[in-house]
Structure 1
Amino acid sequence: MDIAKLDADLVAHQDHLKYRYQQFLETKHKIEEVEGSIAEFAKGYQKFGFTRTSNATVYREWAPGATSAQLIGDFNNWSGSWMERDAFGVWSLTLPDDPNGQPAIPHGSRVKVRLQHPGGWFVDRIPAWIKWATVEPGKMGAHYDGIHWDPPQKHQWQHERPQKAKALRIYEAHVGMSSEAQEVATYTYFKDNVLPRVAALGYNAIQLMAIQEHSYFASFGYHVTNPFAVSSRSGNPEELKALVDEAHRLGIAVLLDVVHSHISSNADDGLAGFDFGQGEEASYFCSGERGYHKVWDSRLFNYSQWEVLRYLLSNLRWWMDEYKFDGFRFDGVTSMLYWHHGINMGFSGDYREYFSPSTNVDAVVYLMLANELVHELHTDAITVAEDVSGMPALCRSVREGGTGFDYRLGMGLPDKWVNLVKNVRDENWSMPDLVSALCNRRYTEKTVAYVESHDQSLVGDQTLAFRLIGPEMYTGMSTLQEESPVVARGIALHKVIRLVTMALGGEGWLDFMGNEFGHPEWIDFPRDGNNWSHQYCRRQWSLVDAEHLRYRFLNAWDAAMQHLDDEYDFLTSPHQLVSFAGGLEEQVIVAERGPLLFIFNFSPFKDFEGYKVGVPEAGKWRVVLDSDDVKFGGKGRVGHDVDHFTHPEGEPGKPETNFNKRPHSMKVFSPSRSVVVS
């Protein structure tokens, strides 16, 4: 395989790589033989669920485990319209329009499918391909109803997809908790109030969480019940389309946080209800233990099943075609890659952990097909994998033998920062160890770097800002009072930590909504344990909007980071070099990324005046950004109008004689707990 040329450790696992690639080719060939192409195969939503002919509504459902099926709903007073079954377990029903040409099932009416269990009893389920599902508001324990969505007035798209950005800078967001009010926010609210903030910060992509319908709000959207349905808590499908359209107007790509790694075990409201205990050849799910995730309490897909492949691939196409999403962040990829799902696995980096009988080749093949499809439908589409295992070649092309993702999340980076901030005194932070952690990623595979995502903000955890500042976030953030040492330290480190991670940690960047300005407190969704409170399930934008609070300094710094990449394209530059990582007596990192020179001073005590640093080129250098600037809450000690002239070092052509292996040097001022960029 071609990927073995990039990673010698893969040579010993060529047989495994060839086998899974052969499985991919065979599956793809079967699809092309029967359906014409993967893209055609992924048009399942044009065949299943509710579709229209010129004079009728057609409903189809794959439910081979059922012995009979009826469509029930408001349109027939829930009395049941019987369906017919074909040889493949597909049930269908054609409902002619009424004499006035009106559809038999009106837009907005409730529908369910009544399936007969082999034991003789009946169960009512929400159609698997339903596009919208709602629950009676304010009624505890109420079940969802499928809603037939076919509005006479549909959203008219106004704006083209934005051009693919050079570097991916993601703003991770949850629409439902995006308002300051203690309520579930809407797609319209997010469009009107949050998107302008994202654009002003300079992010070029948003990653929307919890869009696929999920009956349990507190699952953060990861226990999906209805994969094709828009979460009704925040509005209807047309309102979500308007959100995406507006993002495109602002030049922002929209990624869906898609969950294909598992499905909610809620049988009454979701896809899990189509499992009657039948064999996996007639089910969406694996049977026995392989069909159940014991940690997540959820059902697991059988990725070798033809109709499962149709369902999941069609789901991706549906979100791209109908809602014009520009790509996906695939959740729970580690759970998909291995039969053990990564449970109690401390991946050591031994390649035998990646390529063994524990590898779920069927799931890997599905991911290869998914990436092929997404990039065929939209050449500028973006796919991001959430994988903690470090699976090699995850972000190499399928034709090379890789899995086909564009990026992987740098999931070890937040853990590194949590450990340092929580367990190690500032003066004991090791710069060589930090550099090693930040730069530890797979060669030629792009990584999205981040300090914290939604995972670090959940109840029981703490945001970086809260770890650094603690309770003084409530009492010490006003500029009308003297800045305490705790607040000064926290603000300074918050800025430096984020930029060093962005500069050295990957080829992309991610921020979770509100963390850019140091949003206090964890996230706790309304649930029985907190008396269904929204107190900690919102974003307090008033904190960053208040001129007298220091949160605005962090927000301004985050915007400056994004604009720095816009101007200098350092994230996409292949040139990355750390010329110096000092010991505990200095705690300085000098690094080059693209055309920029970064000088990070993590020392809690020492300012370095006339500090000598190695540089790659002769000439004069000027500061373009520094975290000590007063507009970022600093002391303004670094001059931006000063020319720093270089001096030659050592003998030309002999790096060992240079200063820190750089042919030139210059002297700079490096304040404590700061970063200076030239």
Structure 2
Amino acid sequence: MPNLITEDDIYLFHQGTNYFSHRILGCHPHQSDGREGFRFAVWAPHARSVSVTGSFNDWNWDSHPLEQCSEAGLWCGFFEDIEAGSSYKYALRHDNGWSGLKADPFARQSELRPATASVVPYDYADYSWNDDEWMASKGKTPSYEQPVNIYEVHFGTWKQKEDGSLYTYKEMAELLIPYVKEMGYTHIELMPLAEHPFDLSWGYQITGYFSVTSRYGTPNEFKAFVDECHQQGIGVIMDWVPGHFCRDDHGLRMFDGEPLFEYADIEKADKPSWGTLTFDFGRPEIQSFLVSNALFWFDECHVDGIRVDAVASMLYLNFDRGDDKPKLYNTYGGEENLEALAFLRKLNEAVFAFNPTALMMAEDSSDIPLVTAPTYTGGLGFNYKWNMGWMNDMLKYMEYDSYYRKWHHNLLTFSFMYAFSENYVLPLSHDEVVHGKKALVDKMPGDQWQQFAQLRLLYGYKMTHPGKKLLFMGGEFAQYAEWRDQEGLDWLLLDYPLHDAMRSYVKELNHLYKELPALHELDHDGKGFEWVDPHNSEQSVICFQRKSRNPEDTLLVVCNFTPVVHYDYKIGVPEPGTYEEVFNSDLDRYGGSGQVNEDKHFSFPEQWHSMPQHIQVKVPPFAVSIFKKSHAALRS
């Protein structure tokens, strides 16, 4: 059918380089010979026939046929009698007798679950953005040098209405955004909001990759949420799931009667523990589909970054294969999925070509090197990687009774051996507070006071450790229950002093992180960190410096992982002067014991910790203290 899709667009899609194929495929308003209607296009190379069926034709399979517009299986059609808001699916038939109804892979809107059809959008491309100032400001300073402190949110359970119903995008803009701004976070990370049929998948098993879930409203209402975030100075990161998709009949599985989006080899396609299928990363059309999807979230929804979920599951052929199954190997005899490696490089090159300020974050539990190195040096091309090693080591360390920590001191210090090998984000995410792992505060040993003190210590240590930061919702006020994916957070806990004090502590810590350049400016440069004393395993105390480009901003950080108070504790300093405490997690108002350093500390001209001078301070129990030379004052 002439003039519906250009030959160039068709060629690039089949070559794997049509990075805006979402503007071509799917359902779009269109004018043809002075007539107005909707154009439909779908990729189904194994189908004998394809038609559009839906509420507009009483789900008749034959009244709105599509014509094949490429030899490689693109089908398209134009119809004047289909109205915005209509539900539709593609009706496909195969020569082998198979037939099926499929939702549109490129749909911009979907029916509210449990209904599964796509929706002809009402408000296609008519949103008027008001975030020009934010978009223009992003390129002024590289994100590496800025504070990046992420609040991870599951939209449906951050807060719920009294009757258990969900807040809309519009309502959440009025509730969540002011809270995030007040708390001092710089970004919101949203667990997947692409359309998914099953709530308990948390959005990680998707059927509509281009369709913002209808659970909370329309696509334009979601855009308005992002817009308001930007107007309030808050970035938005979207969880993105290119590694696998769900098996639901209306989705991508066996889309045209044969494997299409998934690998044809079921051994390579199957993710048995998740009940999902792996994309065929080597297929050019899948590359066009996925790269276009990533760019869609940047281009049309103005997100500032995407966190790529489960990268390790993409990189390794045997990631989800049991020991009882034969191993899969690539052509070189290794277990890496070479097609996935090539796809990730192509993805990152395309994203940064069109969005130089993008945040591309790999949630990667593997030990593959150069994840955040440029592709031209052999890297994967991300600019951030979640530091899963730090997270695992620290939570394991914190779960030990403080008496035994001295025998596991390496868990506390090992992350500094590789802290600058990648550009890291330090995550305490939803994955750490589900499936019997316990809430963060409940992981801490001891009585309630000790649990809260140690959680403050963990947060303070994370904030002073090199790397950007992430905390899952509820952690800021020490929710005791694990995250429940059907219920809202326990906001009633804020009626209790310790929980309210914890939220105040996190709020002040977040703002401190933004205020002090040494805590973020050289996060990914070894010049921004220097050990003072990593060796005091007997007392489980560590000391280090954080630095910025201005030597006057240098901070001295002391962390005590036991309940013992140390008086006149000697700490080496690089130069003579007066040092003052600028932050202490043991303050009374945080729920601490009040072991603070109220006086100025003059250095002594005696070598200590290989430094020419030293100061003598009080080290509070289960606490982090931050000192600064000269005129910084104690936060009150």
TM range (shorter): 0.7 to 0.9
Comparing 491-500 with 551-560, greater Cα deviation is found at 551-560
One-letter code of the match for 1:206?
I
> Residues 442, 389 of structure 1: CA spacing in aligned structure 2 closer, same or farther, 3 A cutoff?
farther
User: 2:520 is aligned with what amino acid?
Assistant: L
Deviation readout 1:584-608 (Å, 9 max, x if unpaired): 542211111121111111122x211
Would the alpha carbon gap of residues 284 and 64 (structure 1) be closer, same or farther in structure 2, given more than 3 Å must change? farther
Contact kept? 2:52, 2:65, Cα under 8 Å: yes
| Residue 271 (structure 1) aligns with | 252
Cα distance in 2 for residues equivalent to 1:617 and 1:67: 79
Q: 1:288 aligns with which of 231, 243, 266?
A: 266
SS class of match (2:447): helix
CA distance in structure 2 between the aligned counterparts of 1:189 and 1:91, rounded to whole angstroms: 40
Residue 298 of structure 1 and its aligned partner are, at CA, apart by: 0.6
Q: Which residue of 1 aligns with 2:633?
A: none
Deviation of residue 224 (structure 1)? 1.0
Matched to 1:468, the amino acid is M
Matches within 5 A, 1:303-342: 303-341=281-319
Determine whether 1:124 maps to 2:101: yes
Provide the C-alpha distance between the structure 2 equivalents of 1:153 and 1:404, rounded to a whole number of angstroms: 30
- TM-score of the two chains, using structure 2 as the length reference: 0.87
Instruction: Tell me how far 1:497 sits from its aligned partner.
Output: 1.1
Q: 1:549 to 1:306 in 2, by over 3 A?
A: same
Cα distance in 2 between the residues matched to 1:126 and 1:464: 40
Residues 443 and 599 from structure 1, CA distance in 2 versus in 1: closer, same or farther, beyond 3 angstroms? closer
Asked if residue 670 in structure 1 is aligned to residue 627 in structure 2, the reply is: no
2:78 equivalent to 1:90: no
User: Hey, what does 2:60 align to over in structure 1?
Assistant: 79
- Residue matched to 1:9: none
Q: Does 1:232 align with 2:210?
A: no
Q: Could you tell me which of 371, 387, 399 is aligned with 1:394?
A: 371
State the shift of 1:32 in Å.
12
* TM-superposed deviation, 1:34: 5.4
Distance change in 2, residues 1:343/1:648 (3 Å) = farther
Alpha-carbon contact 1:32-1:38 (below 8 Å) kept: no
Distance 1:614 1:294, change over 3 A: same
Cα deviation, 1:338-369, whole Å, max 9, x if unaligned, reads 11126569xxxxxx99x962111111111111
Range with bigger deviation, 393-402 or 409-418: 409-418
Q: 1:62 to 1:236 in 2, by over 3 A?
A: same
CA deviation map 1:168-214 (0-9, x unaligned):
21111111111143333322232111111111111111111120111
Please list, as runs of the form range in 1=range in 2, the aligned pairs for 1:602-641 lying within 5 A after superposition.
602-604=561-563, 606-640=564-598
Change (3 A) 1:154 1:199: same
Residue 624 of structure 1 and its aligned partner are, at CA, apart by 0.7
Match of 2:630 in 1: none
**SS of residue in 2 equivalent to 1:78:** coil
Letter in 1 for 2:94: H
Q: Name the aligned partner's letter for residue 67 of structure 2.
A: E
- Percent identity of paired positions between Structure 1 and Structure 2: 27
Name the CA distance, whole Å, in 2 between partners of 1:358 and 1:199. Answer: 44
CA distance in 2, matches of 1:333, 1:302: 15
Corresponding residue for residue 144 of structure 1: 116
Query: 3-state DSSP class of the match of 1:232?
Result: coil
Answer yes or no: is 1:112 the counterpart of 2:89: yes
For residues 88 and 435 of structure 1, the distance between their equivalents in structure 2, rounded to whole angstroms, comes to: 55
Q: How does 1:153-192 map to 2 (within 5 A)?
A: 154-160=126-132, 161=134, 163-164=137-138, 165=143, 166-181=146-161, 182-192=164-174
Matched residue, 2:468: 508
Q: Deviations over 1:429-465 (max 9, x none)?
A: 1374133333243644111113x21001224221111
Q: Which residue of 1 aligns with 2:238?
A: 256
The unaligned stretches of length 5 or more in structure 1 are: 1-30, 98-103, 137-141, 346-351, 470-484, 526-533, 650-657
> Number of residue pairs matched?
585
Tell whether 2:48 aligns with 1:67.
Answer: yes
**Aligned-pair CA distance for 1:417:** 3.5
CA distance in 2, matches of 1:302, 1:129: 17
Q: Specify the code of the residue in structure 2 equivalent to 1:541.
A: W
* Structure 1 partner of 2:225: 243
SS of aligned partner of 1:578: strand
Distance 1:248 1:286, change over 3 A: farther
1:541 aligns with: 491
Whole-Å separation in 2 of the counterparts to 1:343 and 1:513 = 32
* Shift of residue 563, structure 1, vs aligned partner: 1.8
- Equivalents in 1 of 2:198, 2:431: separation in Å? 17
Shift of 1:262: 0.5
1:452-505 CA distance string (max 9 Å, x none): 210012242211112237xxxxxxxxxxxxxxx71210111001112212322x
1:645 to 588, 602, 613: 602
Greater mean alpha carbon deviation, residues 428-437 or residues 661-670: 428-437
Report deviation, 1:331: 0.2
TM-score in terms of structure 1 length: 0.82
Give 1:143 deviation, angstroms.
4.1
After superposition, the Cα gap between the structure-2 partners of 1:33 and 1:538, relative to the gap in structure 1 and judged at 3 Å, is closer
Q: Which residue of 2 aligns with 1:489?
A: 450
Structure 1 residues 353-408: Cα deviation after superposition (integer angstroms, max 9, x where no partner): 9x962111111111111111211222111010011112100100112221111111
Q: Is the 8 A contact 1:213 1:221 kept in 2?
A: yes
What is the Cα deviation at residue 524 of structure 1? 3.1
Say which is worse superposed, 181-190 or 80-89, in terms of deviation: 181-190
Question: What are the superposed Cα offsets for residues 14-60 of structure 1, whole Å, 9 maximum, x if unpaired?
Answer: xxxxxxxxxxxxxxxxx999549999721101110012223332101
> Secondary structure of 2:156's match?
helix
What's the CA shift for 1:287?
2.6
Structure 2 unaligned residues grouped into runs of 5+? 1-7, 324-328, 548-553, 628-636
- C-alpha separation between the residues in 2 aligned to 1:274 and 1:33? 19
Code of the aligned partner of 1:296: W
* Residue 246 of structure 1, CA deviation: 0.8
Give secondary structure in 1 for the equivalent of 2:451. Answer: helix
Alignment-derived partner of residue 501 in structure 2: 553
- TM-align CA RMSD: 2.6
Aligned to 1:27: none
Instruction: Note closer, same or farther for the CA distance 1:272–1:440 as it changes in structure 2 (3 Å cut).
Output: farther
Q: Which residue pairs with 1:217 in the alignment?
A: 199
- Give the superposition deviation at 1:310: 0.7
